[in-house]
């Protein structure tokens, strides 16, 4: 057994990141400035987007996306119950109504057939908000088709999915010829594949991104960087009731160095995933994650599902056993329909989301970070196998 607790997803921070942040501190400008703008440009080029806006979280990116599209009271947005609450919170913040659908059983991403049904029965729908869960892209082609036929915007929650690919397109780039607004929100939270501690990015068409930029900083027509430089002016106008969502140069400095070695960090993630797959694939009590043939997952989360008929304990007990062995696992996510606010406000019931409910009850997320050593990975494998070995399913006796 380990002598120290293994964190779930520690960031991999090196000397280059530390030096860049220190240089930013010494430069005298630490809020939104040159580094934030450079980070936007490099990120835009990396994912092949038209424009990018650096903000302080993926939540902020989704919120300003909705605001820039004018989605608000009286409107509805279709999304998934299997996501973190922030995806749905931003719809509520805009006083629009979330319309939640169930998920596909393999990837747990939203089911396009149910999206189609939700759009047809809800004339107020103005946008679809798919979530690329665990780093595996949602099935976007049918979603784009639905959006095209019904004249809907698509706002992608890509918090988990940098740098995933779907049909050879990096997440963040719509297919050629798609004629509706398509905005994509990325997260750089501490556990993400690229981290700025806290942070996010919104990509999309330049005109909409620039409108989102105004929303992201108090609705001012001129940002703080311009006002306090020698070329700036103290005069500004507030044209929208905006938010305070801008990214600071301190965060962007970290992001620039993280972006430069993202591909190397992804290679390490895939190595760890391969070790897990080799170890757990043959274990009948366990179900390993899926990766569809036409995608390249970002492998943000390694989702393990328990086959209860072959295991003598449930998910919660399994998590307790992992913690006893000093392994930091988690659950991603408690579905939206389980949370009291949404359950009471919209009358949501588990039976309305049978796939999400069933899979939630048997899933857990294992430690996965490029900062984890081979020894760390071996400890996780040993702990999981021990728990399975020590808790076989009890055979039913026949009278």
User: Which residues are part of the catalytic machinery?
Assistant: 192
Tokens coding 38: 């450079």
Phi, psi of 64 (to 5 degrees): -70, -25
Residue 246 forms beta bridges with which residues? 55
Tell me the CA end-to-end span of the chain in Å, nearest whole number: 41
Bridge-based pairing of strands 76-80 and 97-101 is parallel
Tokens coding 57: 């979280």
The answer to whether 379 touches 6, Cβ cutoff 8 Å, is yes
Nearest to 95 by CA among 280, 241, 286: 241
Buried b (16+ CB within 10 A) or exposed e, 249-271: bbbbbbbbbbbeebeebbeebee
Contact residues for 83 (Cβ-Cβ < 8 A; gap 6+): 131, 133, 157, 333, 336
The answer to whether 190 touches 43, Cβ cutoff 8 Å, is no
Contact residues for 391 (Cβ-Cβ < 8 A; gap 6+): 311, 312, 313, 317, 321
Taking residue 141's Cβ as centre, other Cβ atoms within 10 Å add up to 13
Q: Tell me how far apart the alpha carbons of residues 288 and 297 are, in angstroms, rounded to a whole number.
A: 14
3-class secondary-structure state, position 194? coil
Compute the CA torsion angle 83, 86, 87, 90 (nearest 10 deg).
160
The answer to whether 251 touches 199, Cβ cutoff 8 Å, is yes
Tokens coding 344: 């009471």
The answer to whether 32 touches 224, Cβ cutoff 8 Å, is yes
* Strand positions, DSSP E, 278-338: 286-287, 295-296, 302-306
The answer to whether 303 touches 135, Cβ cutoff 8 Å, is no
Taking residue 139's Cβ as centre, other Cβ atoms within 10 Å add up to 21
């Amino acid at each position: 057994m380990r002598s120290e607790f293994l964190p779930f997803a520690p960031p991999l921070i090196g000397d280059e990141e530390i030096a860049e942040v220190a240089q930013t501190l010494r430069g005298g400008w630490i809020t939104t400035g040159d580094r934030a703008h450079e980070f936007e440009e490099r990120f835009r080029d990396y994912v092949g987007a038209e424009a990018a806006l650096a903000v302080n979280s993926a939540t902020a990116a989704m919120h300003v996306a909705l605001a820039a599209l004018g989605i608000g009271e009286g409107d509805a947005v279709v999304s998934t119950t299997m996501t973190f609450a922030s995806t749905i919170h931003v719809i509520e913040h805009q006083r629009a109504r979330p319309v939640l659908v169930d998920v596909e059983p393999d990837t747990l991403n939203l089911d396009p057939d149910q999206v189609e049904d939700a759009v047809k029965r809800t004339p107020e729908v103005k946008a679809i908000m798919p979530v690329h869960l665990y780093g595996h892209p949602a099935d976007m082609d049918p979603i784009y088709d639905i959006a095209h036929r019904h004249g809907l915007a698509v706002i992608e929650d890509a918090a988990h999915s940098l740098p995933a690919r779907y049909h050879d397109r990096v997440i963040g780039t719509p297919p050629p010829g798609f004629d509706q607004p398509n905005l994509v929100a990325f997260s750089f939270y501490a556990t993400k594949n690229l981290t700025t501690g806290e942070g996010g990015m919104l990509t999309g068409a330049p005109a909409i991104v620039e409108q989102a930029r105004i929303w992201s900083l108090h609705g001012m027509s001129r940002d703080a960087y311009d006002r306090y430089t020698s070329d700036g002016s103290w005069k500004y106008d507030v044209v929208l009731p905006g938010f305070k969502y801008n990214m600071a140069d301190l965060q962007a400095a970290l992001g620039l160095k993280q972006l430069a070695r993202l591909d190397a960090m992804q290679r390490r993630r895939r190595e760890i995933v391969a070790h897990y797959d080799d170890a757990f694939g043959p274990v009948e009590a366990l179900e390993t994650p899926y990766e569809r043939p036409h995608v390249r997952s970002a492998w943000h989360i390694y989702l393990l599902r328990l086959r209860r008929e072959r295991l003598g304990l449930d998910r919660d007990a399994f998590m307790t056993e992992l913690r006893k062995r000093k392994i930091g696992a988690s659950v991603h996510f408690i579905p939206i329909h389980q949370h009291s606010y949404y359950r009471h406000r919209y009358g949501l019931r588990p039976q309305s989301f049978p796939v999400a409910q069933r899979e939630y009850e048997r899933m857990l997320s294992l430690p996965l970070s490029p900062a984890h050593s081979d020894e760390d990975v071996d400890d996780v494998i040993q702990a999981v196998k021990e728990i399975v070995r020590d808790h076989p399913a009890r055979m039913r006796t026949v009278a």
